[in-house]
């Protein structure tokens, strides 16, 4: 069993000191206009340059490198001219955890996380026989006889079961898309900024019932980079550091290639355990969280996470969304940049930038008042990861 004291020793040992990203609206416009796009590495390199500048560092001060799984670790290091002593490839959530562990162990002192993706211009498929990363990796092959060949189809079935169990409705789900689009309307970095209403949502077509078009994330090109260093060094840099206060992870692997973990308890056990690890490490509770950022490839991640992490009782997400509120004016502002639904689909990377900006107090009209802690949640494929950011 993992020792709680060992885990607590990782809390607050590292901080994000630099963030950077490409111009997502312009990336989107260029692809739609048929202009020559960058490749995935090019998007990442552009974001890295901005993140270095934000941190006030030079690239020879970087001794660790983690790249997103959409690019080659060797190729990105080569293009950036980085000969680091530690590195590898990971998604945003695992990358942050790995960077903290590398810094704690002395394997690195300052780690660059670089992500670039040309998924829209390259016409990457997220369903069907040619799904990204291979159908077996995402378990599509097991569901193909029932035509469930995309994540959208799998989450549609999850949401149908959840609605049956709890009484949650499509209009309740609409509130998620509406709140996130409202936030995006105040975000100059968001792609989709035109506000929508519940009626707009209900009038949008089904993609896979009960999920509408506005429940689905954007698919677009772009890049993101983060610079993480140890807490002591972070205090000496020009940028306002944001502490990685705590984190947790718990995986549901039994039945992972079937729908069982999604349909029986909606990943709540994994979220509960990951949340307990994180909150115990930081010595805080859900009541202390100022803003919640949720990986939202589909809108239905939001109500499931609210219940899984204890922000409301099981079956109480609809009431929480209606009465407590998840918009910027609500009790718990969620995905305050617009998230994947309206800002940009950067596979969880852009949520980290929003957490940093909220805690720096640089979000302008969408700034959460007195922001002290920001919780990031991801439950992709039943692997629940939680990160708590703070000052």
- What is the secondary structure of 126-145 as a DSSP string? SBSTT-TT-TTTTTHHHHGG
Q: What band does 5 get if pLDDT is binned at 50, 70 and 90? A: low
- Is residue 129 pLDDT above 80, yes or no? no
Confidence of residue 135 (pLDDT cuts 50, 70, 90): very low
- 229 shares its domain with 276: no
How long a stretch of residues is the chain? 391
Q: Do the domain assignments include residue 337?
A: yes
Query: Per the domain annotation, does 300 fall within a domain?
Result: yes
DSSP 367: P
Average pLDDT, the chain: 92
pLDDT tens string 73-92 = 999 999 999 999 999 999 99
Question: Residue 362 sits in a domain of what CATH number?
Answer: 3.40.47.10
Same domain, 226 and 192: no
Confirm whether 12 is domain-assigned: yes
Tens of pLDDT, residue by residue over 253-300, are: 887 767 778 888 899 999 999 999 999 999 999 999 999 999 999 999
Indicate if 86 and 153 belong to the same structural domain.
no
- Judge contact between 96 and 387, C-beta under 8 A: yes
Instruction: Give 113 or 127, the one with higher predicted confidence.
Output: 113
CA distance 184 to 178: 10
**Residues 274 and 182 grouped into a single domain:** yes
Residue 264 lies in a domain: yes
Q: Give the span between the Cα atoms of 203 and 329, in whole angstroms.
A: 25
Beta strands in 22-122 (DSSP E): 64-67, 86-89, 110-117
Q: Does residue 378 lie within any of the structural domains?
A: yes
Q: Are residues 227 and 269 in the same domain?
A: no
pLDDT over 90 at 198, yes or no? yes
> Are residue 288 and residue 155 in the same domain, yes or no?
yes
What is the tally of structural domains in the chain?
2
My answer on whether 255 and 161 are in the same domain is yes
Same domain as 385, residue 345: yes
Catalytic residue IDs: 295, 345
* pLDDT given for residue 142 in this prediction: 63
Is residue 136 domain-resident? no
Residue-range definition of the domain harbouring residue 293:
149-218+246-390
User: Do both 274 and 379 map to the same domain?
Assistant: yes
Q: What is the mean pLDDT of residues 4-32?
A: 89
Q: Are residues 382 and 287 in the same domain?
A: yes
- Could you tell me if 163 and 84 lie in one domain? no
Point out the domain boundary residue: 234, 258, 274: 234
* Cα–Cα distance list, 342 to 187, 215, 291, 335, 364 (Å): 10, 10, 17, 10, 18
Of 183, 208, 234, the last residue of a domain is 234
Query: How many CB atoms within 10 Å of residue 273?
Result: 18
Cβ pair 346, 222 in contact under 8 A: yes
Name the nearest CA neighbour of 22 among 47, 48, 5, 53: 47
Judge whether 42 lies within some domain.
yes
Using alpha carbons, select from 170, 171, 190, 177 the residue that is nearest to residue 327: 177
The verdict on residue 128 lying in a domain is no
Statement: the pTM of the whole predicted model exceeds 0.85: yes
328 and 364 both lie in a single domain: yes
């Amino acid at each position: 069993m993992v020792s709680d004291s060992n885990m607590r020793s990782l809390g607050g040992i590292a901080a994000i000191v630099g963030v950077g990203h490409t111009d997502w609206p312009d990336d989107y416009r260029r692809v739609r206009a048929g202009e020559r796009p960058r490749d995935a590495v090019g998007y990442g390199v552009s974001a890295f340059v901005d993140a270095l500048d934000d941190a006030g560092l030079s690239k020879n001060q970087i001794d660790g490198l983690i790249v997103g799984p959409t690019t080659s670790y060797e190729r990105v290091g080569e293009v950036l001219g980085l000969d680091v002593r530690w590195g590898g490839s990971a998604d945003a959530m695992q990358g942050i955890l790995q960077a903290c562990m590398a810094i704690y162990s002395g394997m690195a002192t300052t780690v660059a996380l670089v992500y670039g993706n040309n998924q829209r211009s390259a016409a990457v498929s997220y369903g069907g026989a040619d799904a990204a990363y291979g159908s077996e990796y995402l378990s599509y092959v097991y569901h193909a006889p029932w035509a469930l060949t995309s994540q959208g189809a799998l989450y549609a079935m999850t949401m149908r079961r959840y609605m049956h169990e709890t009484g949650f409705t499509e209009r309740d789900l609409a509130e998620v898309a509406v709140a996130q689009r409202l936030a995006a309307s105040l975000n100059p970095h968001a792609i989709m900024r035109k506000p929508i209403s519940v009626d707009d949502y209900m009038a949008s077509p089904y993609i896979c019932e009960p999920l509408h078009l506005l429940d689905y994330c954007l698919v677009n090109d772009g890049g993101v980079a983060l610079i993480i260093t140890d807490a002591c060094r972070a205090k000496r840099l020009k940028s306002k550091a944001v502490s990685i206060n705590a984190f947790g992870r718990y995986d549901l692997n039994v039945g992972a290639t079937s729908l069982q973990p999604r349909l029986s308890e909606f990943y709540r056990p994994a979220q509960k355990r990951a949340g307990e690890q994180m909150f115990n490490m930081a010595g805080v509770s859900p009541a202390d969280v100022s803003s919640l950022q949720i990986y939202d490839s589909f809108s239905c991640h939001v109500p499931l996470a609210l219940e899984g992490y204890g922000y409301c009782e099981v079956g109480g997400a609809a009431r929480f969304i209606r009465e407590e509120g998840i918009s910027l004016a609500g009790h718990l502002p969620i995905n305050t940049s617009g998230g994947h639904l309206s800002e940009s689909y950067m596979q969880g990377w852009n949520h980290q930038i929003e957490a940093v900006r909220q805690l720096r107090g640089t979000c302008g009209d969408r700034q959460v008042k007195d922001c002290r802690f920001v919780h990031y949640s991801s439950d992709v494929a039943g692997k629940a990861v939680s990160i708590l950011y703070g000052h």
